[in-house]
């Protein structure tokens, strides 16, 4: 019985060399692929969808230092409304509530721009944590108010959960009770209706 074990050490070393050789080949192949691949060119699926190209220049100035946030948001919202009117997609009847979904708040001055929310929301937020400009409603105090479509609420929540600073949060967040965000939004909605 001792004879079969006599060559066990040799066999295990031979087998390990084969595994190491295959691992080295895979590493070399991966490094070669990384040389030819443009990894940074991989665009998250939602990065461009809720962001009309025609509004890009107006909206991108929101992240600039010292920007007049209220003016920028107002310009984007007005330009988007005009585009919708010109295309015949603008509805004259406005309800006091968005059609499902939720209201999101973004405080540009509280932003650290770490990119975590962009990654986990699949591009709903950009690297500066800014929600898509096609969803912007208005600037309310220090907050940009935007609408989150119901289908994207889960992805938005994942971005919020990962974001280290409180620059993006739901309008009904309990930490905002002192700031009366929901009450103010309700008053604005009543005026529009």
pLDDT over 50 (residue 77):
yes
Report the alpha-carbon distance of residue 12 to residue 163 in Å, rounded. Answer: 48
Phi and psi, residue 147, nearest 5°: -100, 135
Q: What is the mean pLDDT of residues 62-71?
A: 84
Percent of the chain residues past pLDDT 70, beyond the cut: 74
- Cα 127 to Cα 79, 115, 116, 119, distances in angstroms: 24, 4, 8, 8
- pLDDT tens digits, one per residue of 1-29: 455 566 667 767 777 777 777 878 888 88
Instruction: Give one word for 180, left, alpha or beta, with left for phi > 0 and alpha for psi -120 to 50.
Output: left
Q: What is the pLDDT of residue 79?
A: 92
Supply the Cα-derived Rg of the chain in whole angstroms: 26
The whole-chain average pLDDT of the chain stands at 79
Q: What is the pLDDT of residue 12?
A: 73
Percent of the chain residues past pLDDT 90, beyond the cut: 20
Q: What is the pLDDT of residue 96?
A: 44
Task: Count the helix, strand and coil residues of the chain and give each as a percent rounded to the nearest 5.
Answer: 55, 10, 35
Closest CA to 102 of 123, 131, 142: 131
- pLDDT tens digits, one per residue of 136-165: 999 988 899 999 999 999 989 999 998 888
Q: Please give the angle made by the CA atoms of 116, 149 and 94, to the nearest 5 degrees.
A: 140
- Strand partners of residue 138: 145
CB atoms within 10 A of CB 15: 10
User: pLDDT confidence of 189, banded at 50, 70, 90?
Assistant: low
Specify the pTM.
Answer: 0.67
- pLDDT tens digits, one per residue of 87-119: 877 665 554 445 678 899 999 888 877 778 888
Q: What is the pLDDT of residue 105?
A: 93
Count of helices and strands (H, E) across the chain: 7, 4
Q: What is the pLDDT of residue 90?
A: 60
Phi and psi, residue 57, nearest 5°: -60, -40
Q: What is the pLDDT of residue 157?
A: 93
pLDDT over 60 (residue 192):
no
Place of tokens 């084969």: 18
Domain boundaries, the chain: 53-192
Q: What is the pLDDT of residue 178?
A: 55
Q: What is the pLDDT of residue 113?
A: 74
């Amino acid at each position: 019985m001792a004879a079969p074990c006599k060559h066990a050490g040799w066999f295990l070393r031979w087998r390990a060399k084969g595994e190491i050789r295959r691992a080295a080949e895979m590493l070399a192949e991966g490094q070669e692929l990384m040389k030819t691949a443009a990894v940074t060119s991989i665009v998250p699926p939602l990065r461009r969808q809720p962001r009309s190209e025609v509004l890009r220049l107006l909206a991108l100035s929101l992240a600039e230092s010292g920007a007049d946030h209220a003016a920028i948001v107002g310009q984007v919202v007005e330009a988007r409304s005009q585009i919708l009117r010109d295309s015949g997609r603008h509805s004259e009847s406005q309800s006091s509530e968005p059609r499902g979904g939720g209201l999101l708040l973004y405080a540009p001055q509280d932003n650290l721009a770490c990119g975590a929310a962009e990654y986990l929301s699949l591009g709903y937020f950009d690297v500066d944590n800014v929600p898509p400009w096609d969803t912007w409603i208005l600037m309310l105090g220090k907050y940009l108010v935007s609408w989150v479509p119901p289908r994207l609420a889960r992805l938005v929540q994942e971005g919020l959960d990962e974001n280290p600073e409180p620059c993006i949060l739901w309008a009904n967040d309990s930490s905002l009770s002192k700031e009366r965000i929901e009450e103010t939004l309700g008053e604005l909605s009543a005026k529009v209706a």
